[in-house]
Amino acid sequence: MGTVTYQKKVSDTDLHQVLQRMSDVYGKDITVHSGDRDDVPAGGSKTSLHLVGRAADFHISGLEDQEVFQSMRQHLAQVFTRSEGYEFIRHGVHTATTGPHLHLGHYPAKNQGKVIFKTEGLTPDTKGHYSPEEVPIPATGAAPQPDATKSGGTQTILASVGEGGVNNEADVKVIQGLLNAAQEQLKAAHIAFTGFDPLPQDGKAGPHTKGAISLFQKEIMQMANPDSRVDPNGRTLRTLQQQVVAGHIPAGAGQASARSCGGSGNNHAHGALRFHQGGGIHDDPVQHASIDQAVIFQVCLEITGLKTQDPVSVMGAGQA
Ligand SMILES: [Zn+2]
């Protein structure tokens, strides 16, 4: 049981409950140092939820912001109100506003059932840039997403890796591991791939690693202009994760994938769908809406060339 101390007023009563539950889950005290605002600080957002009394900036005593931010997704069911939508931001040392802190915002009528995790200002390059990641609030128990640091779970990264990337050592190691594993999967599935010498997982984003990213983007994702970079929540990361964790064969990888769509069950169909879902021109976060099986099948027909409709527009039609 912990105590939440408000140095500034926060009007939103749901946030009071969320912060109290957070304090209880961690067994630590929370200090809220900013809440309702009626002006925009220099460098601050003009659409900030602070301006409508729906945000709190805080720290949890005895815990680094980073620890809280990373572990929070294991406590979503206990902490957040499932009928509501939230943003949870980790502002780094390069943030434009009041220095490093955690920010919790409660959307008025948006993103219900989700927490949008965002990081900003961890490096000079990411100042003012948010990389949102939607995480659903599960009904009970632990969050569906496994701990990224544990083997066997969905491996993920906190910042960009590769050409012009942030290249945190831990993130680079994750990508090197994913690339090696993806290559093994591709080999096992007999998918044509030029291949690369297995990468040492040394956490250094050198030419060998960047080259492997570029090759994967070019040959497996069929990107016209590979950028040798993997962004958190971007298409390259998603494709790598799907390739490795689920063993899905991306739809862009030659004829094998087209065959896999027909009649062999929903697993393959789903893999193909998800690839196409992220298959736009931009490496943007994708809205993971639930899509019925008919739409999945429809997309498969398109991939196999039986339909000519643009798969992206079908995706749009399938999303509520
Ligand atoms: Zn804030």
Distance 311 CA to ligand 1 centre (A): 39
Q: Is 210 in the same domain as 162?
A: yes
Q: Is 14 in the same domain as 107?
A: yes
Distance 103 CA to ligand 1 centre (A): 4
Encoding tokens for residue 181? 């594993």
Specify if 288 maps to a domain.
yes
Distance 35 CA to ligand 1 centre (A): 7
CA distances from 73 to 63, 158, 185, 234, 294 (A): 16, 14, 29, 19, 32
Burial of 139 (C-beta count, 10 Å sphere; 0-12/13-18/19+):
exposed
Distance 91 CA to ligand 1 centre (A): 8
Specify if 143 maps to a domain.
no
Residues near 206 by Cβ (< 8 Å), separated by ≥ 6?
none
Specify if 25 maps to a domain.
yes
Q: CA–CA separation, 196 vs 1, rounded Å?
A: 52
203: left (phi over 0), alpha (psi -120 to 50) or beta: left
In the chain, % helix, strand, coil (3-state, to 5) comes to 35, 15, 50
Encoding tokens for residue 303? 């991939």
Q: How far is CA 117 from the centre of its chain?
A: 8
Distance 44 CA to ligand 1 centre (A): 9
Q: How far is CA 265 from the centre of its chain?
A: 27
3-state secondary structure of 214: helix
Distance 119 CA to ligand 1 centre (A): 12
pTM here is 0.47
Instruction: Give the model's pLDDT for residue 187.
Output: 85
Instruction: Give the model's pLDDT for residue 246.
Output: 60
Strand order in the sheet with 30-34: 4-6, 30-34, 55-60, 101-106, 86-91, 114-120, 133-136
Q: Is 211 in the same domain as 273?
A: no
Full residue range of the structural domain in which residue 252 is found: 248-320
Q: Is 131 in the same domain as 152?
A: no
Distance 41 CA to ligand 1 centre (A): 11
Q: Is 128 in the same domain as 21?
A: yes
pLDDT in tens, the chain (320 residues): 789 999 999 999 999 999 999 999 999 999 999 999 988 877 777 889 999 999 999 999 999 999 999 999 999 999 999 999 999 999 999 987 778 999 999 999 999 999 999 999 999 989 989 989 999 999 875 444 444 443 344 678 888 999 999 999 999 999 998 899 888 888 888 888 899 999 999 999 999 999 999 999 999 998 999 999 999 888 898 888 877 766 654 444 433 333 333 333 333 333 333 333 333 333 333 333 333 333 333 333 333 333 333 333 333 333 33
The last residue of a domain, from among 200, 231, 262: 231
Distance 34 CA to ligand 1 centre (A): 7
The tally of domains found in the chain comes to 3
3-state secondary structure of 263: coil
Instruction: Give the model's pLDDT for residue 245.
Output: 66
Q: Is 296 in the same domain as 181?
A: no
Specify if 177 maps to a domain.
yes
Specify if 41 maps to a domain.
yes
Instruction: Give the model's pLDDT for residue 304.
Output: 35
Distance 78 CA to ligand 1 centre (A): 22
